Chains A and B, each alone.
Chain A
Amino acid sequence: MPRLNSAADLEKLRQKILAKSDGKKRVVSVTNGTDGRTRHSQDIVKNFIDEIKKQGLTGKVIVKSTGCHGFCEKEPTALILPEGICYVSLKPEDVPEIVSETLVGGRIVERLLYEDPTTKQKIAKESEIPFYKYQSQALLGNNRFIDPRSIEDYIALGGYDALAKALFKLTPEEVLEEIKKANLRGRAGGGFPVGRKWETTRNAPGNTKYIIVNAHEGEPGAFKDRTLFEGNPHLVLEGLIIGAYTIGAHQGYIYVRHDAPVLIDNITTALTQAKEYGLLGENILGSGFNFNVEVHRDIGIFVSGESSALMAAIEGAVPEPRPKYIHTSVSGIRESPSNLNNVETWANVPLIINRGAKWFTGIGTEESKGTKLVSLAGNVRNTGIVEVPMGTTLKKLIYDIGGGVRDGKKLKGVHVGGPLGGCVPEGLLDLRLDFDELAKAGTPIGAGSMIVMDEDNCMVDAARYFLNFSTEESCGKCVPCREGIYQMLKILNRICEGKGTTGDIELLEEIGGVLQDASLCALGQTVVNPVLCTIKYFRDEYKAHIEEKRCPAGVCF
């Protein structure tokens, strides 16, 4: 691979890749990410390659093994480009038919198309499937055109253009100004303005500065960061390098779960390729700017995604949060200023630099701009990763995109934000996807997971489930979090077994209040949300358990 020494070199390489790939060729884009692989997508890719050779199409069709396109429910899928025909729920033995019928004969294989569950109509085009129709995939859209293990695919689509623009046309101050103008807010849950965070680290005293990608997405029902990072690693990496240039950091870390082998593999490949092209390492694109990135795996505890615990882990210490009245953006890794943003936040950066803050602020609500990735799961017809503009109502997410509740059941609510979030009852579905609006309702957006609950879900049991998750994922350092979770779980267990007593609800609220006020880190402070929120909106269900010894959903006892 030739090293790129200027922006012109990058452009030249892009032209070369485009000329070679010849836009007229057909592409079969097969989803081969973590989800697909559990359903034999690797065999499907292999069968496509073999079958294309067998049926004499070598050189005419390109088989692309890509990350997830979003529609996890129907994976593995194959997208035939340029027609945009989408085959869903594929099995390896379906491949010969697709090749002979569609690729050779130009006909559509009806039985493999998506069927609308209400109208029973077959839909051939991916863009007309309701799940995709109502989305606007600014971040995720390119997943279908990119083999995550090929930097050339990313460059062909204009990749690293934003980096070249930042390095050669903008000063770090101008990049910062653009991010601030875009009003980009952190996608990790808090929604803290990214520009302000960057500025703090940039202006903090000290020569050594670190920046970090938080790819530690650990809560049940959240998988959007993994999907994005796994399918398009260079997008996140490009954002990170731009951030490093802006902040003045020369060392970056990617903090990732140890149990995400595909993701780790794709990241390491991406880092190696970027380094070989001179997009990472010493003298990036000949600009004189140096930046290196290291991948750090977690040891398998949820709380290590908390900023100070995460930084302790990178230092090699036990990942436990420390009380911090000085932000990590001023004193983080080895007491140096350290800027931490999550995967989705970094991925937004190249788009903002490329298309401008104006484009970004044109999407979303007054205070929450851009698009938002949501992991849609639970008892909804179409599960998967959804990308919609901020401000989209939960109703639209669940009914238009998600296709409504499965098996014709009645919707009860939607749990937003995983174990640190809360449950929005059916009556409040007009709430919009907005950091402040959801936080105000007691259901902070958190990691962007949405779990749809129907009439067969017991809310007490759901709260118990999330709290049970937290008993093992808290570090156990501070008293309120460790003992509080334990005692709350005991009460919930009691209620679910039909042994609840009068006063249990009030005791839960009392303990919850103390945890919110007294816990050391954000985990302890928010871990009670599922309980407090279900008490707030579904108090009757708690009462039915305690007073009538009856579980309205028929789950408990």
Chain B
Amino acid sequence: MSEVTLKINDKEVKAKEGTTLLQAARSVGIDIPTLCYHEKLAPYGACRLCMVEIARGKRTRLVTSCVYLVEDGLTVQTESEKVIKIRKMLLEFMLARAPGVKTLQDYARRYGVTRTRFEVEPSFCILCGLCVRYCAEVKKANAIGFISKGTERQVMFFPDIANEECPKCGECFSICPTGVLPSNYAIARVPHFKWPSMAWLTKQP
């Protein structure tokens, strides 16, 4: 694979073709904040914290650095004014959902977000989907998934699979940035009892 040269924050960076902007930046020690990124998982592009501003000639564009691939001659700004404005707002959104999370608080400090302007209504989960994707992509177990849609979206263990798979694994607990998973898992354990057979209902005389 051939190598390309690009500029990230005025620093010349060489990267292999096919690597993402995020990987290229991190390889030279430029830190871009992420929440839904994990090197073992396919890029997801949902937390939007890793957005950066790219330029080719005079045209600039905001892209997700965990998905966008390096290009020769590209100029990248990881901390431009627009980017910071977006990150601040996203952090405010998430702090209203999961106020006590350390990663969020660290990022908030980094970007000078002292408080969220939105009413705090904790759901404790930021829906980064690390657990869901780890379970599906790495463990191939699908014991946890998203339910519902839009603003009602939630993460949930599926009791039937979770009771089979999770006792021997539990790896998602450690990658969850909010630490809400164990209690989620506990909820899934509660309804675990064997339903009486309903075969008599359909039995033919």
Select which of B67, B82, B118, B127 is within 8 A of A325 by beta carbon: B67
* Contact status of A476 and B90, CB under 8 A, knowing A323-B64, A470-B150, A485-B150: no
- CA A471 to CA B149, docked complex, whole Å: 8
Shortest distance between the CB of A327 and any CB in chain B (Å): 14
Select which of B47, B82, B93 is within 8 A of A484 by beta carbon: B93
> With a CB–CB cut-off of 8 A, which chain B residues contact A555?
none
**Could you tell me how many residues of chain B have their Cβ less than 8 Å away from some Cβ of chain A?**
35
Task: Report yes or no: B89 in contact with A510, Cβ–Cβ below 8 A.
Answer: yes
Interface residues of B in 105-122 (CB under 8 A from A): 117-119
> With a CB–CB cut-off of 8 A, which chain B residues contact A487?
93, 96, 118
Task: Report yes or no: A507 in contact with B117, Cβ–Cβ below 8 A.
Answer: yes
Shortest distance between the CB of A298 and any CB in chain B (Å): 13
- CA A301 to CA B153, docked complex, whole Å: 13
- CA A292 to CA B88, docked complex, whole Å: 50
CB within 8 Å: A-B pair count: 101
- CA A301 to CA B148, docked complex, whole Å: 11
Flag whether A529 is at the interface (Cβ < 8 A). Answer: no
Task: Report yes or no: A483 in contact with B93, Cβ–Cβ below 8 A.
Answer: yes
> With a CB–CB cut-off of 8 A, which chain A residues contact B117?
507
Shortest distance between the CB of B163 and any CB in chain A (Å): 23
Task: Report yes or no: A520 in contact with B150, Cβ–Cβ below 8 A.
Answer: no
Task: Report yes or no: B45 in contact with A472, Cβ–Cβ below 8 A.
Answer: no
Flag whether A482 is at the interface (Cβ < 8 A). Answer: yes
Select which of A322, A475, A507 is within 8 A of B150 by beta carbon: A475
Flag whether B151 is at the interface (Cβ < 8 A). Answer: yes
Task: Report yes or no: A514 in contact with B45, Cβ–Cβ below 8 A.
Answer: no
> With a CB–CB cut-off of 8 A, which chain A residues contact B94?
479, 483
Task: Report yes or no: B150 in contact with A482, Cβ–Cβ below 8 A.
Answer: yes
Interface residues of B in 43-81 (CB under 8 A from A): 43, 45-49, 51, 62-64, 67-69
Interface class of chain B by DSSP:
loop
Task: Report yes or no: B86 in contact with A514, Cβ–Cβ below 8 A.
Answer: yes
Query: CB-defined interface of B144-169 with A at 8 Å, one 1/0 digit per residue?
Result: 00101111110000000000000000
Flag whether A46 is at the interface (Cβ < 8 A). Answer: no
Task: Report yes or no: B151 in contact with A474, Cβ–Cβ below 8 A.
Answer: yes
Interface residues of B in 98-144 (CB under 8 A from A): 117-119, 126-127, 129
With both beta carbons as reference points, the residue of chain A lying nearest to B53 in the complex is identified as A517
Select which of A318, A518, A520 is within 8 A of B90 by beta carbon: A518
Q: Which of B97, B118, B119 has the most CB of A within 10 A?
A: B118
Query: CB-defined interface of A459-498 with B at 8 Å, one 1/0 digit per residue?
Result: 0000000000011111111111011111101100000000
Select which of A476, A514, A518, A519 is within 8 A of B127 by beta carbon: A476
Shortest distance between the CB of B110 and any CB in chain A (Å): 17
Interface residues of A in 2-61 (CB under 8 A from B): none
With both beta carbons as reference points, the residue of chain B lying nearest to A326 in the complex is identified as B69
Interface residues of A in 518-557 (CB under 8 A from B): 518-520
* Contact status of A472 and B86, CB under 8 A, knowing A325-B67, A478-B48, A480-B93: no
> With a CB–CB cut-off of 8 A, which chain B residues contact A318?
146
Flag whether A511 is at the interface (Cβ < 8 A). Answer: yes
Task: Report yes or no: B153 in contact with A476, Cβ–Cβ below 8 A.
Answer: yes
* Contact status of A477 and B118, CB under 8 A, knowing A514-B89, A518-B62: no
* Contact status of A474 and B150, CB under 8 A, knowing A325-B67, A507-B117, A518-B90: yes
Pairs of residues from A and B, 10 with the lowest C-beta to C-beta distance, nearest first? A476-B153, A323-B45, A483-B93, A514-B89, A486-B151, A323-B67, A474-B150, A518-B86, A478-B46, A471-B151
The chain B residues found within 8 Å of chain A, CB to CB, are: 43, 45-49, 51, 62-64, 67-69, 82, 85-86, 89-90, 93-94, 96-97, 117-119, 126-127, 129, 146, 148-153
What are 10 contact pairs spanning A and B, CB under 8 A? A476-B149, A479-B93, A480-B48, A483-B93, A483-B151, A485-B150, A489-B151, A518-B48, A518-B62, A518-B89
